[in-house]
Amino acid sequence: MAILSAVFWFLVFSLLSGMPGGGDLSSVLFRPSSLSLPLLNSFTFDQNPSPEQQPPPAPAPAEDRCAGRYIYMYDMPARFNEELLRDCRALRPWTAEGMCRYVANGGMGEPMGGDGGGIFSERGWFDTDQFVLDIIFHGRMKRYGCLTGDPAAAAAVFVPFYGSCDLGRHIFHRNASVKDALSEDLVGWLTRRSEWRAMGGRDHFFVAGRTTWDFRRERDEGWEWGSKLLNYPAVQNMTAILVEASPWSRNNLAVPYPTYFHPETAADVAAWQRRVRAAARPWLFSFAGGPRKGNGTIRADIIRQCGASSRCNLFHCHGAAASGCNAPGAVMRVFESSRFCLEPRGDTMTRRSTFDAILAGCIPVFFHPGSAYTQYTLHLPPERGGWSVLIPHADVTGRNVSIEETLAAISPEKVRSMREEVIRLIPTVVYADTRSSRVDFRDAFDVAVDAVVGRVARRRRDEPDARR
């Protein structure tokens, strides 16, 4: 299974490797943005933090808007985070360009030039990779309004470790000790800290911007997939934030995958919401994705049904067309012109595409509750039928249920109200501009931090962990 998965990924990534070379590394990392914001100096390799990055002193308790929400962020050796970005080509060694265009701008990636022919709004759009949340989260945390330099005053302790970058470099390495070296180093470094001893790390949290399955390797045979980061007892004491969590583990929380939109202000969000609300949606439904081998997914049925329907826009990511599926404009164009977007499981239960669909105001259609409902409980409302459709997997694969007929039977009023709910979710599922300290709306980062703070507070009271 693991070896099949590795071979499969190799094939996928080989297909995506046709990107143009990125020029020299420093020009990629330091290319000025077309936006007015400066590049983050914290994402250069200057290891001495500048004065504005020092946490502000805690204000007097009487006027303390941060009470109960202070975060202490470790100042970690750069080998655990920013140094990993230095050799950005090595983070995705099977492509010519590596991760260089994606680690730029605090993990948001290169800015989109222009509005993509009317696909994007004026401000806040970047070519963002799906597996960079650790970098993005660190950037947002540097500008969190309630940082403290005093660990004893903190509600929770943030560990800025770039687990997804570390794994990316070694993902096809056959030697387990190479894959685990930095995780091992991290555990040793953390457990020697006085900050750790206060709660045995149970007030600590970190982000590893991939799925949980990449960090739970069971055995040490070289061919087995992933690292064993999440298996260390010390790491199990912490809260791991991932884009897909294990339902059998309490030490991880799932948060949305990053999308292409990183607005700075509520006004930028509102402008985008107006745009998707007004978008013409000639297609009843659409599917953007490729086939998967085997009987574990229903993609073959989806591609067949969508291909056969005049009301479905099929963006088939297959063969020569596959690289187009990584082109933000092409994907967003499909979703912005569809009323429903099909979101079957990918290589794991979840897909980044679900969040691209929500961003486009397209109502997601799931085939398994594990694709979103049981994962993103912090960010997506529990009234599932208000913003999404579930067509059980077995109805399509076993009973030949027509996706088109199922969706066409939903009344136009219901479709409108569901779409409005999806559009309302947009600010909650996007990650704001990592370079900005004037973000004035509650984004996916804020929701996640509040959840961790609540979770640690329950742990301090000796109450069990909860998912919400």
Ligand X SMILES: *[C@@H]1O[C@H](CO)[C@@H](O)[C@H](O)[C@H]1NC(C)=O
Please give the residue ranges that form the binding site for ligand X (CB under 6 A).
175, 177-178, 191, 200-202, 233-234, 237, 294-295, 400, 402
Strand partners, 316: 289
Taking the least distance from each CB to ligand X, the nearer of 201 and 427 is: 201
State in angstroms the smallest separation of the CB of 135 from ligand X: 26
State in angstroms the smallest separation of the CB of 232 from ligand X: 8
Burial (CB < 10 A; 0-12, 13-18, 19+), residue 373, is middle
Q: Which of 257, 286, 284, 288 is nearest to 359 (CA)?
A: 257
State in angstroms the smallest separation of the CB of 201 from ligand X: 5
Q: Which of 371, 375, 372, 354 is nearest to 363 (CA)?
A: 354
Q: Which two tokens stand for residue 62?
A: 């009487």
d(CA 300, CA 310): 18
Is-contact 230 216, C-beta < 8 A? yes
Taking the least distance from each CB to ligand X, the nearer of 14 and 177 is: 177
State in angstroms the smallest separation of the CB of 402 from ligand X: 6
Q: Apex CA 115: angle with CA 109 and CA 120, to 5°?
A: 75
Taking the least distance from each CB to ligand X, the nearer of 201 and 346 is: 201
State in angstroms the smallest separation of the CB of 39 from ligand X: 35
Taking the least distance from each CB to ligand X, the nearer of 147 and 155 is: 155
State in angstroms the smallest separation of the CB of 357 from ligand X: 25
Taking the least distance from each CB to ligand X, the nearer of 50 and 295 is: 295
State in angstroms the smallest separation of the CB of 191 from ligand X: 6
d(CA 214, CA 99): 18
Is-contact 16 323, C-beta < 8 A? yes
d(CA 164, CA 73): 19
Taking the least distance from each CB to ligand X, the nearer of 7 and 327 is: 7
User: In what side-by-side order are the strands of the sheet with 283-289?
Assistant: 312-316, 283-289, 338-343, 363-366, 389-390
Burial (CB < 10 A; 0-12, 13-18, 19+), residue 308, is exposed
CB atoms under 10 Å from CB of 463, counted, come to 10
Residue type, 323: S
User: In what side-by-side order are the strands of the sheet with 239-242?
Assistant: 71-73, 156-158, 204-207, 239-242, 252-254
Taking the least distance from each CB to ligand X, the nearer of 206 and 376 is: 206
State in angstroms the smallest separation of the CB of 339 from ligand X: 21
State in angstroms the smallest separation of the CB of 296 from ligand X: 8
In angstroms, the first-to-last Cα distance of the chain is 32
Residue that has been written with the tokens 């929770």 in this structure: 156
Taking the least distance from each CB to ligand X, the nearer of 76 and 270 is: 76
Taking the least distance from each CB to ligand X, the nearer of 57 and 294 is: 294
CB atoms under 10 Å from CB of 120, counted, come to 21
Is-contact 33 105, C-beta < 8 A? yes
Taking the least distance from each CB to ligand X, the nearer of 12 and 266 is: 12
Residue whose CB is nearest to ligand X in the complex, by number = 200
Coil, helix or strand at residue 411? coil
State in angstroms the smallest separation of the CB of 393 from ligand X: 14
Q: Which two tokens stand for residue 346?
A: 């990918």
